[in-house]
Amino acid sequence: MIKMSKKNETVKEIFASCSFSSLGLHSTLCDQLRERLGFEAPTKVQAQAIPVILSGRHVLVNAATGTGKTVAYLAPIINHLQSYSPRIDRSSGTFALVLVPTRELCLQVYEILHKLLHRFHWIVPGYVMGGENRSKEKARLRKGEDFLHLFLFLLAWFDGSGMYGNVCISILVATPGRLLDHLKHTSSFLHTNLRWIIFDEADRILELGFGKEIEEILDILGSRNIGSIGEGNEVSNVKRQNLLLSATLNEKVNHLAKISLETPVLIGLDEKKLPEDKSHVRFGSLESDVKEEVEHPSTTMRSTTEDFKLPAQLVQRYVKVPCGSRLAVLLSILKHLFDTEVSQKLVVFFSTCDAVDFHYSLLSEFQWSPHSQPDMELKQLFLRCKTFRLHGNMKQEDRRTTFGAFKTEKKALLLSTDVAARGLDFPKVKCIIQYDSAGEATEYVHRVGRTARLGERGDSLLFLQPVEMDYLQDLEKHGVSLTEYPLLKVLDSFSLYGQKPRVKKFLTTESHPWILSLQNALESFIIHEVRLQSKMKKLAKDAFCSWVRAYTAHRGELKRIFTLKKLHLGHVAKSFALKEQPSLVGKSFQKQSKKRKRDQRQKGQSGKWKFPSKTNAK
């Protein structure tokens, strides 16, 4: 009964008490929302945003993770496009551009779009993103997207209503780099009728160092409010409507808002977030650090110490773990969670690709049976669950497979870098573990936002070392408060060699018999695993080196909290199951340094607005 009323309360908090059709959406689109996506009623953010976007105003949306922002912008755009009379022509080119920070988010938005357009076959969805074949994309931009649409267009060809060869993508989802590439080099990419530009996860696009690309894109498309418009651009007469969305907004979004939005409506941003002196606002350029004064009060929010919007039903905890026991504690907590919950689905975030690879291989191979005596050979896989990994150094095909597979699994573990932190909607994720801290509070918010979506319950757990405890205060400043995870209670619940260890009161984590035995088993696994022929040792060493570099890359105030000098590198090595600290001047470390510099050069990165120089942190 209590459970029921709690659920009702959450439903009330998330959903609006109106229908999609009452917001002004066409009945066929409402049917699509219900039949294809299972959406009966709009969420609150959808109820607020849809009528405003339908009215043609520019909009800045700031709403918690998992509250339905995607459909909040897709539905009104589709509504407009389906209503055009005569129907939009296949040679009219692209009408809407959705810019997203990652490839997975690109695919996700495209999939939703695809479902919503099922009955509007003359509106063609499409995507372009890094990692895909450029020439195939060029063809898609010219001809349009998938087989269903192809089939319908061929039908149209046969009924004499149009030219298949001229079909273009009407709504295009893209990552910024690849979009800019096509804008510059794909002559058949027609955008003279472009009406909408949407920045989904706007702050992340800028954090990733795409500021310059975004300014260039706006210039080429002639969609910039202030400043010059680039030479030789096709500037259309179509009235533009731009939308910016994220659960977290920052200074850089201020600037993007100013150059791309005209007297926008703010959704989810209260007056408190506007500066007191509303007449003159300072902000920085997307690409340079130059400050300029511009009068444009309604698009600015105070950034650094605002409260973030987190799902109310999310239970946030931290666990304080000494460095040398981190790995054993992580494995113990994972075991506990998978043993106690049949349909457990969780995501663990790491700071680097190498760390993901190491932990993935370890969890896939590590055998240990705490029930049999150490000298007996009755070993079994320590963690019995499907494990996936996701990071930016993986092949695009593997990223796509993982993304699809983890979505459909009921019981599974995903090890990931921040590539999965933004916007991804994996159904039924129950818990998020931040094994390596995200650093920036915004990223903390987006990582935990992969659970507790749309009113569902969810847990999050942040690993902190004793020397990092001040980070909790940093999160507090943004209204994020965490309670402590009962680690010792969980460790006490394991039985070792057939019996529960007799645990003395006030025992520390690192001297707990369970942790000592597990740590021993992990270290011997790394050294003695003959079958894997030193693969594990290499993975551990590489992960150690990347981790150290990532740790030193924290910026600003966070540098004070995450200071390498405060750590014992021997203990850090233990957290990769290494008995000894690998050399930081060895080949692998130098190779990584070179790779990082090369990556930065390729991206033209330098200066303050760039992506943090975390090695391998994609």
> Site for ligand ATP (CB under 6 A): how many residues?
18
- Of 73 and 471, which has the nearer Cβ to ligand ATP? 73
Q: For residue 366, count other CB atoms closer than 10 A to its CB.
A: 21
- Of 79 and 465, which has the nearer Cβ to ligand ATP? 79
Contacts 24+ apart (CB under 8 A), 217-222: 217/99, 217/176, 217/179, 217/180, 217/183, 218/259, 218/260, 220/180, 220/183, 220/184, 221/97, 221/183, 221/191, 221/194, 221/197
Say whether residue 311 binds ligand ATP (CB under 6 A): no
Say whether residue 68 binds ligand ATP (CB under 6 A): yes
Say whether residue 449 binds ligand ATP (CB under 6 A): yes
Binding mask 206-245 for ligand ATP (x = CB under 6 A): ----------------------------------------
Residue of 425, 440, 443, 468 interacting with ligand ATP (CB under 6 A): 425
Residue of 32, 67, 223, 402 interacting with ligand ATP (CB under 6 A): 67
Rounded Cα distance between 271 and 257, Å, is 16
- Of 323 and 412, which has the nearer Cβ to ligand ATP? 412
378 membership: H or E segment, kind and range: none
- Of 46 and 223, which has the nearer Cβ to ligand ATP? 46
Dig out the tokens for 199 from the structure: 């920045």
For residue 353, list its beta bridge partners: none
Dig out the tokens for 228 from the structure: 């010059």
Residue nearest to ligand ATP (CB): 68
Say whether residue 444 binds ligand ATP (CB under 6 A): no
Dig out the tokens for 571 from the structure: 């203990």
Contact 460, 434 (CB under 8 A): yes
Residue of 10, 48, 62, 70 interacting with ligand ATP (CB under 6 A): 70
CA distances from 217 to 12, 175, 211, 260 (A): 40, 11, 10, 11
Residue of 268, 423, 458, 513 interacting with ligand ATP (CB under 6 A): 423
For residue 293, list its beta bridge partners: 282
Residue of 180, 197, 247, 269 interacting with ligand ATP (CB under 6 A): 247
Least spacing, CB of residue 361 vs ligand ATP, in Å: 29
What's phi and psi for 8, nearest 5 deg?
Answer: -60, -40
Q: Which residues contact 291 (CB under 8 A, 6 or more apart)?
A: 282, 283, 284
Q: Using CB under 6 A, which of the segments 59-67, 304-312, 519-527, 537-545 binds ligand ATP? A: 59-67
Residue of 48, 65, 442, 592 interacting with ligand ATP (CB under 6 A): 65
Burial category of 270 from C-beta neighbours within 10 Å (exposed 0-12, middle 13-18, buried 19 and up): exposed
Binding mask 18-47 for ligand ATP (x = CB under 6 A): ---------------------x--xx--x-
Residue of 54, 229, 238, 454 interacting with ligand ATP (CB under 6 A): 454
Say whether residue 458 binds ligand ATP (CB under 6 A): no
Dig out the tokens for 547 from the structure: 């981790």
Q: For residue 496, count other CB atoms closer than 10 A to its CB.
A: 15
Q: Could you identify the residue written with the tokens 């026991």? A: 325
Least spacing, CB of residue 113 vs ligand ATP, in Å: 12
Say whether residue 287 binds ligand ATP (CB under 6 A): no
Rounded Cα distance between 118 and 113, Å, is 9
Q: Using CB under 6 A, which of the segments 4-12, 261-269, 354-362, 447-455 binds ligand ATP? A: 447-455
147 membership: H or E segment, kind and range: helix 147-158
- Of 219 and 459, which has the nearer Cβ to ligand ATP? 459
- Of 42 and 324, which has the nearer Cβ to ligand ATP? 42
Say whether residue 69 binds ligand ATP (CB under 6 A): yes
Say whether residue 453 binds ligand ATP (CB under 6 A): yes
List of residues contacting ligand ATP (CB under 6 A): 39, 42-43, 46, 63, 65-71, 247, 423, 425, 449, 453-454
